[in-house]
Chains A and B, each alone.
Chain A
Amino acid sequence: MYELFIALRHLTSRRRQTIFSVLAVGLAVMLLVWSQAMMVGFTDEMYSKTVDRMAHVTVEPQEDEDYIHLYHKLTGDIRGIDGVVGVSPVLSGPATFEYKDKNKNVVIQGIQVDAHDSVLHINDDIVEGSFRDLEVSSNSVVVGDALAEKLDVEIGDTIDASFPEANPAALKVVGIYDSGTPLDETMAITSQSTAQGFLDVSNVVNSILVRVDDRERAQAISEEIDAMGYPASGWKETNPEIIQTLKLEGTSNAVILGLIIIIASFGIVSTLFMAVMEKTKEIGMLMAMGVPRRSIMLIFVMESGILGLLGAVLGVALGAGLAIQMGSYDYGMEVMAGITTIPFVVRLQDAVIIVLFTFLLNLIAGIYPASRASKLNPVEAIGRE
């Protein structure tokens, strides 16, 4: 492998050019790694702040029906699907809440506490009181912190609930939750039986919420439920803007940073061109000594590849180090969906892909100057003094 021997010696002899080329690629890769860590962190945060807090699959009544009547059987069937970890039948409807001189239009949701917690982890959001009390006493309600503030109610206060065609009820506040979403101002949660009484319906629900173990499988599972005769939709259908946001951010990020690396690689190409010019006589002499054109090409492609690889490894080390050192990026304000801080997440697979991408890019970038070197005419290259 004399080609590698010669390539390495060229690089160590042109020390300054080598260092600057590696640094240029390294800095570009560092930016890419750092920003990728932020992107992954943002995606994770976005999912945990949104998708992980919503029903992965929502089942609705059959066409032309207002309610799901035989929801017990359907709930059991859905629970039997592989990958389903939580199923919650929900009866919801509109209501007007009044407390003293304040009033607010809300959506009232009738739930079974355990079932609902298995889908939405509502118990994690409780800040005062308890969801459990909904089942202990009827005509009780849990409200969001923003709603409680609007109505100026506290635990123990009784709210008057009414609505046209509904049975007016007095609901005692037994808990306050904070989910960090706009729902905190518009949704009140009560027991299924209380909701049935208020909305004046029999034992029916108007939606079934489902949680799955892998959010990426939500679509497949919703199709299985569809096949049972009930329209179901996965979170990607019900919240297309989440995917849209992530895709947009991800793509523009990758394009810009990919361009930076390509620019850094152009630096290597121009360094190599200079090296080829400088070494014209040497290349001619190597040919005279019996180095075939392919090997001349290989020598210079190797040089480019080695520079790229060194730069990539340096950049990954710097970028990952910087990301880990910083830990997270604090915006100091809410950017979206309750996200104020983005953790940096460095994934091994990203590091490997970036190193490979940069290495390959530099191998390819090296081909042009290398082929120029290999096409030299040995007689002209050696020349005469």
Chain B
Amino acid sequence: MSDIPIIQIKNLTKIFGDGVEIKALDGVDLYIKRGEFMSIIGPSGSGKSTLLNQIGILDTPTSGTILLNGVDVTKMSDKERSRTRNKELGFIFQYHHLLPDFDALENVMIPLLISGVKSSQARKVARKVLDEVGLGDRMKHRPNQLSGGQNQRVAIARALVNKPSIVIGDEPTGNLDSKSSDSIYELLRKLNREHEQTFILVTHDEQMAAKTDRVIRLVDGKVVEDLRDGASVREI
């Protein structure tokens, strides 16, 4: 695990609303190292998802900077942001958000097709990743023919297929029963160990958060706690 930060967030602020203003993020500073397996926790409305959307370049901040591999993503054009999302970021949401008109294999192929990989090559890679998440025998099934846990595994395969350096999970197990939830967590853990990708998970589940290597606690848009292996990383 290298010590160079893959993500550097400096004084990040996000204000919503034009009449009544809501400060969803209030001067957040955060360094995340390559290969970290971390979680962001906090009460509802604390800004967890807002922060995740900023890291995922799905939204733009009101002020502050986000450096991804040293590049300021807040200054990118739509095309560059899209390319960065495609190449460097993988998303797993609470709900799988698979494309309903495509089968499991096609869903996993799509990020590859977007990045310009040939269809035959994409098929090969997608098969391998689906095998890895344990769905080798469900490739031709559409989302409505799969269980919640299976769909979430397809969504994970899709998030990982382009070998992104950062995988973002917004309540990735929030919709699943505890058994599926545990197996999804184990899967993410395994993938993190094998591929050295950075995993950032937002969760309500304190138990699950406790199992990650680093836990960030947000309250009212501010980082109030930053623990690595149970010890405080820095003075807040």
Contacts and interface: CB of A to CB of B under 8 A. Distances in A.
A295 B78 CA distance: 11
Report, nearest first, the 9 A-B pairs whose CB atoms are least far apart.
A290-B86, A2-B113, A292-B82, A13-B101, A285-B97, A290-B85, A385-B95, A378-B58, A288-B91
Contact of B99 (A285, A378, A379): A285
B64 to A, nearest CB: 17
B101 A290 contact: no
A73 interface: no
B126 to A, nearest CB: 13
Contacts of A289: 85-86, 91, 110-111, 114, 158
Interface string A351-385: 00000000000000000000000000111001011
Contacts of A5: 113
Contacts of B158: 289
A175 to B, nearest CB: 77
Contact of A288 (B83, B85, B94, B175): B85
B37 interface: no
Contacts of B93: 285, 382
B110 A2 contact: yes
Contacts of B99: 6, 282, 285-286
A385 B78 contact: no
Contacts of A6: 99, 110
A121 interface: no
B102 interface: yes
B43 to A, nearest CB: 15
B101 A10 contact: yes
Given A290-B87, A290-B111, A291-B82, A282 B100 contact: yes
A217 B78 CA distance: 58
B71 to A, nearest CB: 16
Given A287-B58, A289-B114, A384 B49 contact: yes
A304 B110 CA distance: 22
Nearest to A288: B91
Interface in B37-80: 49, 53, 56, 58-59, 78-79
Given A289-B91, A290-B86, A379-B53, 9 more contacts: A13-B101, A284-B97, A285-B93, A287-B85, A289-B86, A291-B82, A292-B83, A294-B79, A379-B59
Contacts of A384: 49, 94
Interface residues of B, number: 31
B145 interface: no
Contacts of B232: none
A9 interface: yes
A8 to B, nearest CB: 10
A281 B95 CA distance: 10
Interface string A1-40: 0100110011011000000000000000000000000000
Contacts of A286: 99, 110
A385 B113 contact: no
A215 interface: no
Contacts of A281: 97
Contacts of B82: 287, 290-293
Q: Which of B82, B111, B115 neighbours the largest number of chain A CB atoms within 10 Å of its CB?
A: B82
Nearest to B111: A289
B78 A293 contact: yes
A384 B95 CA distance: 8
B122 to A, nearest CB: 9
A2 B102 contact: no
B56 A288 contact: yes
A301 B58 CA distance: 24
Interface string B105-146: 000001101110000000000000000000000000000000
Nearest to B88: A290
Contacts of A295: 114
Contacts of A293: 78, 82
Contacts of B91: 285, 288-289
A10 B99 CA distance: 10
A282 B87 contact: no
A291 B58 CA distance: 12
Contacts of A385: 94-95, 174-175
Given A2-B110, A13-B101, A292 B58 contact: no
Interface string B166-178: 0000000011000
Given A378-B58, A379-B58, A290 B97 contact: no
Contacts of A9: 101-102
Contacts of B58: 287-288, 378-379, 382
A296 B113 CA distance: 14
Contacts of B94: 384-385
B1 to A, nearest CB: 26
Interface in A181-217: none
B104 to A, nearest CB: 14
A291 B232 CA distance: 39
Given A289-B91, A378-B58, A2 B114 contact: yes
Contacts of B79: 292, 294
Nearest to B101: A13
Contacts of A294: 78-79
